[in-house]
Amino acid sequence: MDKWELQNGLLEYDDTGHTYLYEGIIVPSITQVMSLKFGGMYASVSPDVLKASADHGTAVHKAIENWCKCEIPSDLRELKHFQVLKQRYGFEVLKNEIPIVIKEPCVAGRLDLVLRDKEGRLAIADIKTTATFEKEYVAYQLNLYKKGYEETYGEEIQALYIVHVRSYGGKNFRHFREIPISDIPYQWLCENYERWNNGKTD
């Protein structure tokens, strides 16, 4: 069980059940609630392919985290892509795998990266390793992470980024793109949170 004493309360995570507890109460993750809107994205992909892709994505995330924190090398080409993007776009990684909570309505999660971009702005970024990604999904995810980070740590996030790196399954590329800041995802969360409790999806 992972535990974090955050400014806004105690957050715990049980990896065996993929469950967050905030102040002792089970709460959904941001990505779980987002399944209300985006749940069918990978319906046509076989479970075996999804698992292989997820396992590879986890390995890439860990390799990037280890390199950012301790400069531990890895043979994964996605790490090389990340290093090239970091040099090209001039961002500085400040933190990795940061727990966050939105208190009302209550959801939790962990964001991949906190950055200082080349303009000096405090930013958050999400690492994607899939062959493609849904732009609207990423916009909702990052804007909800922004809300959670600001509530949890009391710092204003001034920019959002997607780090898209892949060298797997015949695809080989790297992209660093800014995502617009918007209040719409949080408004959607407030309007649809009870649907999650009622087990309803689109």
Q: Which of 199, 29, 10 is nearest to 110 (CA)?
A: 29
**Positions of the chain with pLDDT lower than 70, given as ranges:** 40-44, 168-170, 200-202
Q: Could you report the per-residue pLDDT of 94-121, keeping only the tens digit for each?
A: 999 999 999 999 999 999 999 999 999 9
pLDDT score at 51 = 85
* 170 neighbors 49 (Cβ within 8 angstroms): no
* 152 neighbors 100 (Cβ within 8 angstroms): yes
* 148 neighbors 30 (Cβ within 8 angstroms): yes
Domains of the chain by start residue, with CATH = 36-197 (3.90.320.10)
Helices (H) and strands (E) in the chain, counts: 5, 9
pTM value is 0.92
* 114 neighbors 98 (Cβ within 8 angstroms): yes
Q: Which residues lie below 8 Å from residue 23, measured CB to CB, with a gap of 6+?
A: 9, 10
pLDDT score at 155 = 97
pLDDT score at 201 = 46
